[in-house]
Amino acid sequence: MLPIIPILSDKEIKRKQSKGRQLDPVALQEVRDLLGGVSRQQDLLIQHLHTINDHFGYLCLPHLTALAQELRLAQTEVFEVASFYHHFTIVKEQTELPAEISLRVCDGLSCEMAGATHLRGQLHDYLQKTNNQSIRVIRVPCIGRCEQAPAALLGQHAIPSADLLAINLAITQKNVQAEALEYIDYQAYQAQGGYQKLQKCHNGRVDRESLFKCMEESGLRGLGGAGFPVARKWRIVAAEIGPRLLAVNLDEGEPGTFKDRYYLERDPHRFLEGMLIAAWAVDIAEVYIYLRDEYHACRHMLEAELVKLQENPPVAGMPSIHLRRGAGAYICGEESAMIASIEGKRGLPRLRPPYVAQVGLFNRPTLVHNFETLYWVPDLLKKGGDWFSKEGRNGRSGLRSFSVSGRVNQPGVHLAPAGISVAELIEEYCGGMPDGHILYAYLPGGASGGILPASLSHLPLDFDTLQGYGCFIGSAAIIVLSQHDSAITAARNMMAFFKHESCGQCTPCRAGTAKALDLISQDVWDIPLLQDLSELMRDASICGLGQAAPNPIDCVIKYFPQELNLAQEKP
């Protein structure tokens, strides 16, 4: 008797296939070849996206589908992450391939003051004239090189003080890879006595309680912007049930801030020793370093130095150290958004409680620190807490690393006493202002710290000293404006940045930044409406981005009414 074989309908055959985009065998093999033997764990999604994007210059849908297959994720999960971060270029059709090389020109306030708009115009005309279709010019937010304004990135190659000549030279020489850094490497750092303080911790010559007291005596606070006391944070996390994790925020996305890059490029192991001392103090199982994507040279350097450190550890039982690469999202400077990004997800802030010290990275108690905070730990242990605390002016205590840019003769990172005024900082550390420029205004804490007039240049710069004036010091990013600049123009630049960088999770921030930018782009400002909008954004936004975004607008209304009056008087 012959068996009866049922004939399946087309509809039934289709049901045997997975829904959505079908897997392309060629794309799957390409992805497998690129990833090689690297782990397919899901929290490495963003790192794998970088691998593909770096190789091809873009992310096409077949590769995203293949990556979803390799990581056992839904295609929607991979696409939503890839589309969230600015540094991934998604191509939906092969006919839409981007130019081979990206030229990113910063549009941050310091770079705009230094002529970035004019430079972009020159580049457009030049590339059109030479019919160079291999380069695409991208206007991007602050890239963390404000002291080198105007700054640009050709591929992964940083171009300081960029002009048409320097960029053309880099293009001609095909300088698209990150530049080599001159820094104190592992061997040199050890020769200088490096890691001896860490060794004293591990061999019992320094106990945890004395280390906590040293931090308390120094008065060291978080130097990423929040200013939370370090010793108190260590005690809180240490009291949680292990295993505990440490996440280091090296994203440094606040416009005007570049101090972390400055120190990292020169002395990485001082930071690494401080990080490992903190890990010992809180009994950390694993460490994750989250590095800003624009810092390509720093990433290559850290990768090399971490290999040396782990192959020849200075102490036994050193925790595992993982270096994670960001992907261009300012919001990931917020600690819970950074944690989500380390986990391979979209960088979305979360409501509290629970706090990250209780439920953080991979749902474990997590100690989160800014780079510079850890950078000072070895010196404090070596010189004592009073070495740090005895510094300061105007009743303040400690040292601050100020990232200074704008209208000064010597922009850069300047280590100065906490509580110094901007007038003193400019004259004593920055070589004064250029000829023909007089202090008109300054931003004391980057984009979100507000704008103050020259009449308040005597105020002490430190945590808790500027709140009464509607501002804060944050990461100590000082942008100096002269009489040739405009507070209104600065506010528009800042709000355009916030609109671009809003994660879109909450309506007050997503819609508020867009509405605020539209309102302040008008010649005549609707001040009552702007004030209502500012109040709503502060009260209802989930995180600090939406809460602080109105600061520049409020400061213009409060301190620079003459600019608003002048705009109204224009015919």
**pLDDT surpassing 70 at residue 15:** no
**269 and 341 belong to one structural domain:** yes
Q: What is the mean pLDDT of residues 253-261?
A: 96
Residue ranges making up the domain that contains 32: 25-91
How far is C-alpha 254 from the chain's CA centre? 6
- Residue 6, domain member (yes or no): no
Rounded distance between C-alpha atoms, residue 534 and residue 162, angstroms: 36
Domain assignment present for 20 = no
The CATH number of the domain where 269 resides is what? 3.40.50.11540
Is pLDDT at 162 greater than 70 in this prediction? yes
Is residue 414 in some structural domain? yes
pLDDT for res 94: 75
Residues 444 and 559 both lie in one domain: no
Question: What is the structure's pLDDT at 16?
Answer: 58
Q: Residue 156: which CATH number? A: 3.40.30.10
CB-based contact 396:473 (threshold 8 Å): no
Q: Is the domain of 405 the same as that of 378? A: no
Q: Would you state the pLDDT for residue 313?
A: 96
Residue 226 confidence (pLDDT): 86
Q: Is residue 570 part of a domain?
A: no
> In angstroms, rounded to a whole number, what is the distance separating the alpha carbons of residues 64 and 119?
35
Mean pLDDT of 254-269: 97
Residue 491 has pLDDT above 60, yes or no: yes
Provide the β-strand partners of residue 107: none
In this prediction, residue 8 carries a pLDDT of: 60
> Per the domain annotation, does 13 fall within a domain?
no
Can you spell out the DSSP letters for 354-397? SPTTTS-GGGS-EEEEEHHHHHTHHHHHHH-HHHHHT--STT--
Domain match, 290 and 312 both = yes
Helix residue ranges per DSSP H, 436-543: 487-501, 507-520, 527-540
Q: Say what the pLDDT of residue 95 is.
A: 73
SS3 state at 27:
helix
Q: How far out from the chain centre does Cα 255 lie?
A: 9
Alpha carbons 342 and 321: distance in angstroms, whole number: 13
Q: Which residues contact 198 (CB under 8 A, 6 or more apart)?
A: 273, 276, 277, 280, 314, 315, 378
Residue 460 contacts residue 421 (beta carbons within 8 Å): yes
Evaluate whether residue 569 is within a structural domain: no
Asked if residue 246 lies in contact with residue 287, where contact means CB atoms within 8 angstroms, the answer is: yes
127 in the same domain as 50: no
Question: Could you give the number of structural domains in the chain?
Answer: 5
Q: Name the more confident of 481 and 13.
A: 481
Looking at 441, 460, 483, which one is the last position of a domain? 483
Query: Are 125 and 169 contained in the same domain?
Result: yes
For the chain, the distance separating the N- and C-terminal CA atoms, rounded to the nearest angstrom, is 97
Domain end among 430, 448, 483 = 483
Q: State the DSSP code for 134.
A: S
CATH of the domain at 414: 3.10.20.600
Residue 391 lies in a domain: no
pLDDT, residue 11, reads: 60
Residue 93: per-residue pLDDT: 80
pLDDT of residue 198: 97
| Same domain as 368, residue 240 | yes
* Contact yes or no for 38/44 (Cβ under 8 A): yes
Sequence-distant (≥ 6) Cβ neighbours of residue 482 within 8 angstroms: 407, 433, 434, 437, 438, 439, 440
554/473 same-domain check: no
Tens-digit pLDDT profile for residues 228-239: 999 999 999 999
Give the separation between CA 467 and CA 180, rounded to whole angstroms.
Answer: 41
Same domain, 64 and 106: no
CA 359 and chain centroid, separation: 23
pLDDT for residue 203 is more than 90: yes
What's the confidence (pLDDT) of residue 7?
63
User: How big, in percent rounded to 5, are the helix, strand and coil portions of the chain?
Assistant: 45, 15, 40
Check which CATH number belongs to the domain holding 498 and give it.
1.20.1440.230
- Kindly state whether residues 377 and 239 are assigned to the same domain: yes
Q: Residue holding tokens 């009464």?
A: 468
Same domain, 310 and 457: no
274-to-215, 269, 271, 371 alpha-carbon distances in Å: 12, 8, 5, 9
Higher-confidence residue of 152 and 227: namely 152
**Could you tell me what percent of the chain has a pLDDT over 70?**
96
The verdict on 353 and 303 lying in the same domain is: yes
What does the pLDDT average to over 76-96? Answer: 92
Distances (CA, A) of 412 to 147, 235, 256, 567: 5, 34, 10, 34
pLDDT band at 225 (very low <50, low <70, confident <90, very high): confident
273-318 pLDDT, tens digit per residue, is 999 999 999 999 999 999 999 999 999 999 999 999 999 999 999 9
Is 181 within the bounds of a domain? Answer: no
Residue 59 has pLDDT above 60, yes or no: yes
Give the 3-state secondary structure of residue 81.
Answer: helix
Mean pLDDT of the chain: 94
> Which residues fall within 8 angstroms of residue 17, CB to CB, at 6 or more apart?
none
End-of-domain residue from the set 173, 198, 229: 173
Residue 61 CB partners (closer than 8 Å, separation 6+): 21, 90, 91, 92
Instruction: Give pLDDT, residue 96.
Output: 80
Instruction: Tell how strand 366-370 and strand 244-250 pair up.
Output: parallel
- Judged by average pLDDT, the poorest of 12-26, 457-471, 543-557 is 12-26
Please, is 229 exposed, middle or buried when counting C-beta atoms within 10 Å of its C-beta (0-12, 13-18, 19+)? middle
